[in-house]
Amino acid sequence: MLLTKKSSYGLIAALELAGCGDAAPVSAATIADRYDLSHSFVEKILHELKRAEIVSSKQGRKGGYRLARGANRITVRQVLEALGESLDLVGCLGTEAPCTLTDICPTRGAWARIDVRFKEMLDSLSLGDLIEQDLA
């Protein structure tokens, strides 16, 4: 599995907002400038996160984005899935067309177990956890 740039940047943006806590809203441009990213791409990502109710926005001169709920209540998996990321480790476990080896594949069971643990790990990591780890 390889994360898309959109998901990678989306997690960066979400962590930036998590690091701000209850401070003033942060503009997409501020995040984009800090990481030398495209302003329009970061704006698009934040709109998708808003649609998924992970971030909220405020219009106007002192507007911007902030997390819609506490950083400890937003998981890494929620952010990635909000941005359309497929978290299936191999195609036969997800929505892709079934593999011709599905019925006889000796590795499918192993991949299924690994896939479950991987998703459990993403569910167990909140943005708050990641912020705390960076501060340690």
What are the beta bridge partners of residue 64? 58
User: According to the model, what pLDDT value does residue 2 have?
Assistant: 79
| CATH number of the domain to which 126 belongs | 1.10.10.10
CA distance 121 to 54: 19
Residues 6+ apart with CB under 8 A from 133: none
Task: For 83-113, write each residue's pLDDT tens digit.
Answer: 999 888 887 777 666 778 878 889 888 999 9
Could you give the number of structural domains in the chain? 1
Task: For 4-32, write each residue's pLDDT tens digit.
Answer: 999 999 999 999 999 988 888 999 999 99
Contact 108, 92 (CB under 8 A): yes
Q: Whole domain around residue 131: which residue ranges?
A: 5-135
